[in-house]
Amino acid sequence: MSTKTSFAIHDKGFTKTLRKDNWRLYPGLVVFGLTSFLIYGFWSAWQANFYWYSGGQEGFGGYLAPFYSPLLFIKESVEGAAPMTHSIFGPWPSWWPSWIPPSPSLLILAVPGIFRFTCYYYRKAYYRAFSGTPPACAVGALQRKRKEGYKGETGFMVVQNIHRITVYFAAIYIIVFFYDAYLSFFRAGEFGVGLGSLLLLGNPILLASYIFGCHSIRHLVSGSRDCYSCGLRGDIAHKNGMIVGWFNRRHELFAWLSLVWIMIADLYIRMVSMGYINDPNTWGF
Amino acid sequence: MTTRKFQIYRGDNKNGELVNFETEVKEGMVVLDAIHKIQAEQANDLAIRWNCKAGKCGSCSMEINGMPKLSCMTRMNEYRKDETIIVTPMKTFPVIKDLVTDVSWNYIQNKRIKPVKLAHECKTENGYVMYQNDVDRVQEFRKCIECYLCQNVCHVLRDHDKKDKFVGPRFMIRVASLEMHPLDTEDRIPELKKEFGSGMCNITKCCTDVCPENINITDNGIIPMKERVVDRFYDPITILGRKIFGKKKKKFPPLSP
């Protein structure tokens, strides 16, 4: 035994810890990843142009930037806009305020945004990285100054319970993105493959892998039951649970892969549409 | 044999300090071995709770270099040879002496949970009948050794000291194991929301990260319970469904395959 060091065992305070490892790495990567995505997403949505590429050809087929899909309304006069035939509700509404760009993306961005915001995985990521509750395990959490102190998800954050509803809408995007992928394998009605097609095909596959691992879906298709030996429905629910469980164990992986992939696919199609990148494809042969 | 440096907490809940020790360590030793050696050779009055030394009794929970761990399952070769290993008691619970904490608050929480109430119609002359499919999920929670590392690391209890509002991860999975039980007829969902504080958990998954039994506490226990609370209190579709069709009658496993 040698010298002693004064030490208060119950010391509390934001980021106070005895951990010696690099605990800042995970929240740091999350801040970088999510901030990059948010900045790019809003920038891309605000551009309102160059979201479509079909090599200047008309007819069936073309690349649609995923941040702009589905196209509820289209303003054809902007550069790089999709043909009007792709609009679900027709031309851009005349009542749209002039100070907001006529971007189809701004109309639909909230749905996947709220889905990801309320996702059980992303909650872990941003509660740690952005709200410091806690920044890492056994690292001092940010204290709340209000009288009642920390409220978890019982205060304003009770809104997280809408996650299940957002899943229903987010699942529609899988179908929409698969249609966009199908569209991307055609140019003026002729079948072909381009780098953009592969990026647009990977997008719904990764999104589906992410959504099928959702905890709310697992609950709906399997987890709400207690008895799996009760007839055919119980048996189906048990098998569903095993399938969704596989994806659920990889929910974090697919959450990030789908996030990064959609960003790359969107940027790529924007760059191709703007003429900065020459899309390698089979239609030129 | 190499000489390794330690700083071990000595004191009680009010006054204490990190005391420096050095001891010889052999290959294959765990942190608990080293502490026992220090106790035997240099500090006979060093208090430490331990029992099985096999990671199954959950007694030797403490914090090693700030991370909640079982000292009997933490090998010395996880740390650099020139590193001073800091050993402190669990932060969330009051210190009795040195590395021993008073975890009795946890036993009180356990008593608040309604015990299992088995469906009498499932009883046969050979006992109760259930099937592997039905207990797959619950078996994971039964691995819990009650080391309370998850309770210790949970920031709701550790940093925000909301022991009056949240029962903690260990008891969330206890409730889960009972609620998912195929033969249980008790309903604990209202208490789960109102008294046990399921909403206090913000699923940052530290409980899962520190569990020595690798129980997926958050994903397989807490989140399914939160989803059942959503079913009961927040999802307009399920609430409307119950109002129209009434409460679903619980089904039980068949008495013979």
Q: Tell me: the pLDDT tens digits for B119-137?
A: 998 999 989 998 999 999 9
Q: Residue B66 in contact with residue A138, Cβ under 8 Å?
A: yes
Residue of A nearest to B205 (CA): A124
**With contacts defined as CB-CB under 8 Å, which chain A residues touch B200?**
150-154
Quick check: is A1 in a domain? no
CB of B241 less than 8 A from some CB of A: no
Say yes or no to pLDDT of A3 above 60: no
Q: Which CATH superfamily is domain B2-101 in?
A: Beta-grasp domain (3.10.20.30)
CB of B163 less than 8 A from some CB of A: no
| Confidence at A66, pLDDT banded by 50, 70, 90 | very high
Count of C-beta atoms within a 10 Å radius of residue A157: 16
**With contacts defined as CB-CB under 8 Å, which chain B residues touch A133?**
155, 202, 204
Q: What is the per-residue pLDDT for A285?
A: 73
Q: What is the per-residue pLDDT for B51?
A: 96
A224 contacts B17? CB cut-off 8 A = no
CB of A219 less than 8 A from some CB of B: yes
Q: What is the per-residue pLDDT for B75?
A: 97
Q: What is the per-residue pLDDT for A6?
A: 60
CB of A24 less than 8 A from some CB of B: no
CB of A138 less than 8 A from some CB of B: yes
**With contacts defined as CB-CB under 8 Å, which chain A residues touch B39?**
none
B95 contacts A219? CB cut-off 8 A = no
- Distance, in angstroms, between A40 CA and closest chain B CA? 26
Which candidate, B183, B228, B107, B130, places its Cα nearest to that of A161?
Answer: B228
- At what angle are helices A25-47 and A251-274 packed, to 10 degrees? 40
| Confidence at A11, pLDDT banded by 50, 70, 90 | confident
**With contacts defined as CB-CB under 8 Å, which chain B residues touch A20?**
65-66, 83
Q: What is the pLDDT along chain B (257 residues), one digit of tens a residue?
A: 899 999 999 998 888 999 999 999 999 999 999 999 999 999 999 999 999 999 999 999 999 999 999 999 999 999 999 999 999 999 999 999 999 999 999 999 999 999 999 999 899 998 999 899 999 999 999 999 999 999 999 999 999 999 999 999 999 999 999 999 999 999 999 999 999 999 999 999 999 999 999 999 999 999 999 999 999 999 999 999 999 998 888 889 988 87
C-alpha distances out from residue B174 to A145, B92, B250, Å: 32, 20, 20
Count of C-beta atoms within a 10 Å radius of residue A16: 14
CA A69, CA A130: separation in Å to the nearest integer? 29
Quick check: is A13 in a domain? no
Q: What is the pTM of this model?
A: 0.93
DSSP character string of A23-35: TTHHHHHHHHHHH
Q: What is the per-residue pLDDT for A5?
A: 62
Q: Residue A62 in contact with residue A283, Cβ under 8 Å?
A: no
Which residues of chain B from 169 to 228 reach within 8 Å of chain A, CB to CB? Answer: 179-182, 184, 197, 199-206, 209-210, 218-219, 223-224, 227-228
Q: Rounded mean pLDDT of chain A?
A: 93
CB of B84 less than 8 A from some CB of A: no
CA A112, CA A118: separation in Å to the nearest integer? 10
A1 contacts B19? CB cut-off 8 A = yes
Residue of B nearest to A236 (CA): B133
Which candidate, A58, A49, A41, A40, places its Cα nearest to that of A92?
Answer: A49
CB of A148 less than 8 A from some CB of B: no
**CATH topology assigned to domain B104-245:** Fumarate Reductase Iron-sulfur Protein; Chain B, domain 2 (1.10.1060)
Read off the pLDDT of residues B20-38 as tens digits, 9 standing for 90 and up: 999 999 999 999 999 999 9
Mean pLDDT of the region A35-45: 96
Domain that holds residue A37: 32-213+250-274
Q: What is the per-residue pLDDT for A148?
A: 84
Which candidate, B96, B175, B143, B94, places its Cα nearest to that of B167?
Answer: B175
The span from the first CA to the last CA of chain B, in angstroms, equals 60
A144 contacts B206? CB cut-off 8 A = no
CB of A21 less than 8 A from some CB of B: yes
Q: Which long-range contacts (CB under 8 A, 24 or more apart) does A6-11 make?
A: A6/B17, A7/B9, A7/B16, A7/B17, A7/B18, A8/B16, A9/B9, A9/B11, A9/B13, A9/B16, A9/B88, A9/B89, A9/B91, A9/B95, A10/B13, A10/B91
Strand B84-88 versus strand B61-64 pairing type: antiparallel
Quick check: is A4 in a domain? no
Quick check: is A8 in a domain? no
B65 contacts A21? CB cut-off 8 A = yes
Interface test with B, best of A16, A118, A137 (most B CBs within 10 A): A137
Quick check: is A284 in a domain? no
Q: What are phi and psi of A14, to 5 degrees?
A: -60, 130
Residue of B nearest to A229 (CA): B253
Please give the tally of structural domains in chain A: 1
Q: How far is CA A155 from the centre of its chain?
A: 25
**With contacts defined as CB-CB under 8 Å, which chain B residues touch A141?**
155, 158-160
Say yes or no to pLDDT of A284 above 60: yes
Q: Is the peptide bond before B94 cis (omega within 30 degrees of 0)?
A: no
CB of A232 less than 8 A from some CB of B: no
Domain edges within chain B = 2-101, 104-245
Read off the pLDDT of residues A159-195 as tens digits, 9 standing for 90 and up: 999 999 999 999 999 999 999 999 999 999 999 999 9
Read off the pLDDT of residues A71-99 as tens digits, 9 standing for 90 and up: 999 998 899 999 999 999 999 999 999 99
CA B35, CA B52: separation in Å to the nearest integer? 15
Read off the pLDDT of residues A224-277 as tens digits, 9 standing for 90 and up: 999 999 989 999 999 999 999 999 999 999 999 999 999 999 999 999 999 999
